[in-house]
Amino acid sequence: MNLRVPGPTPLPPTVLAAMNRQMISHRSEDFAHLFAEVREGLAHVFQTQNDVLILVASGTGGMEAAIVNLLSPGDHVLAITIGNFGDRFVSIARAHGAQVTELAFPWGQAAAPEHIAEALDADPKVRAVLITHNETSTGVAQDLSRLSQVVREHRPDALILVDAISSLGALPLSTDEWDIDVVITSSQKALMTPPGLAFVSVSPRAWAAYERAQMPRFYMDLGRLKERADASSSHPFTPAVSLFYALSEALRLIKEEGLDNIFQRHQEIGQFVRSKVKDLGLELFADPRYASNTVTAIVVPEGVNADGVLKRLKDDYGVLLATGPGKVRGKIWRIGHMGYVSRADMEEALVAFEEVLANPPAY
Ligand SMILES: *Cc1c(COP(=O)(O)O)cnc(C)c1O
């Protein structure tokens, strides 16, 4: 199967093989060694000196951890949302009692910096700003460096919390250089590891907020994770040991290829996919200035059976693409191209796509 949904993504053979190993005790020296290796690899991918904590959870768990560790009920939060995952960040913050102002932009667009500036000026109590780096639901990659800069200019001490789940490890993201307090990602997208681990980086500014934060936390307590990691290179609870095997190998592959080469590969593949889609006479959903190099969203043409096309691709060609989530369900198709992906993989998927579209299934 040519799995080209925007996560989970295919695993490199050596990552797959790495999991086929006997359990070790999570209190052993072997695990401490593995844990230390993984931490170092993550710091490299995050491009940070900050702590990077590892949670046994999906990406959403990482987002929730960021909220509950740094905020108190009633805290003012500015949530910048450009799609489904931005909306999810809003829901999480609201579920825990934050006072969220939602700054929503049309799906397919990136956030406008001047509106962020206005919103910050309008509410001097904003403590945290939520941003989605790469909106997987619409195929938009924002200019995170610019957005972070605007927040800092207008509110130097606000916390910047970034969902980088479908970007980190594929698109450039310099946590420290861009002064991002919290970067969240998970194992199953660009990091070429199975689903099940979430990673959260925490800046000194964010640790200061942690000390004051009043939302309840226990399993997700980042301070407890840091304490264990620093004291004994381990995890406070039983971690997903097999996923650590996989992650360690994936991080080794990332180091071997080199971050700049990885960014370059994603850029070339992203461009290739977009130009091929346009050649097929189809319309891209995202603003071309902010087209993502990890996921491409395509507008379903009038009168075409969107689900029928996906089904035929899967049944006849073994190519798995995705529909849109939420309000763009059936209106767009999405192709994932992040992590373990080559131009040849995408060529194969797009040739199949072309053949299906030449004779699309009826309703
Ligand atoms: C995949 C994804 C998530 C959610 O991750 P889960 O692992 O399914 O919880 C959140 N945000 C973005 C941008 C994503 O791409």
- Taking only the tens of pLDDT, the chain with its 363 residues reads 999 999 999 999 999 999 999 999 999 999 999 999 999 999 999 999 999 999 999 999 999 999 999 999 999 999 999 999 999 999 999 999 999 999 999 999 999 999 999 999 999 999 999 999 999 999 999 999 999 999 999 999 999 999 999 999 999 999 999 999 999 999 999 999 999 999 999 999 999 999 999 999 999 999 999 999 999 999 999 999 999 999 999 999 999 999 999 999 999 999 999 999 999 999 999 999 999 999 999 999 999 999 999 999 999 999 999 999 999 999 999 999 999 999 999 999 999 999 999 998 877
Cross-strand pairs, 235: none
Q: Is 342 exposed, middle or buried (0-12, 13-18, 19+ CB in 10 A)?
A: exposed
How many angstroms separate the CA atoms of 363 and 360, rounded?
A: 9
If one residue of 5, 186, 243 were mutated to test the ligand 1 pocket, choosing by the most ligand atoms within 8 A of its CB, it would be 186
How many angstroms separate the CA atoms of 325 and 323, rounded?
A: 7
Task: Give the ligand 1 atom nearest the CA of 132.
Answer: 13
Any ligand 1 atom below 6 A from CB of 59: yes
Any ligand 1 atom below 6 A from CB of 60: yes
Report which of 354, 313, 357 is spatially closest to residue 2, judged by C-alpha positions: 313
Q: What confidence score (pLDDT) does residue 279 get?
A: 97
Å from CA of 6 to ligand 1 middle:
9
- Per DSSP, 168 falls in state B
Q: Whose CA is nearest to atom 12 of ligand 1?
A: 165
Q: Is 242 exposed, middle or buried (0-12, 13-18, 19+ CB in 10 A)?
A: middle
Alpha helices in 96-221 (DSSP H): 113-122, 144-154, 204-212
Å from CA of 133 to ligand 1 middle:
11
Q: What confidence score (pLDDT) does residue 362 get?
A: 79
Query: 219 with 197: CB under 8 angstroms?
Result: no
Q: Which tokens in the block code for residue 239?
A: 């971690």
Query: 206 with 181: CB under 8 angstroms?
Result: yes
How many angstroms separate the CA atoms of 29 and 313, rounded?
A: 47
Distance of CA 203 to the CA centre of its chain: 19
If one residue of 63, 64, 82, 85 were mutated to test the ligand 1 pocket, choosing by the most ligand atoms within 8 A of its CB, it would be 85
Å from CA of 211 to ligand 1 middle:
27
Residue holding tokens 């991080």?
Answer: 251
Q: What confidence score (pLDDT) does residue 47 get?
A: 98
Q: Whose CA is nearest to atom 2 of ligand 1?
A: 165
Å from CA of 332 to ligand 1 middle:
18
pTM: 0.98
Q: 8 preceded by cis ω (within 30°)?
A: yes
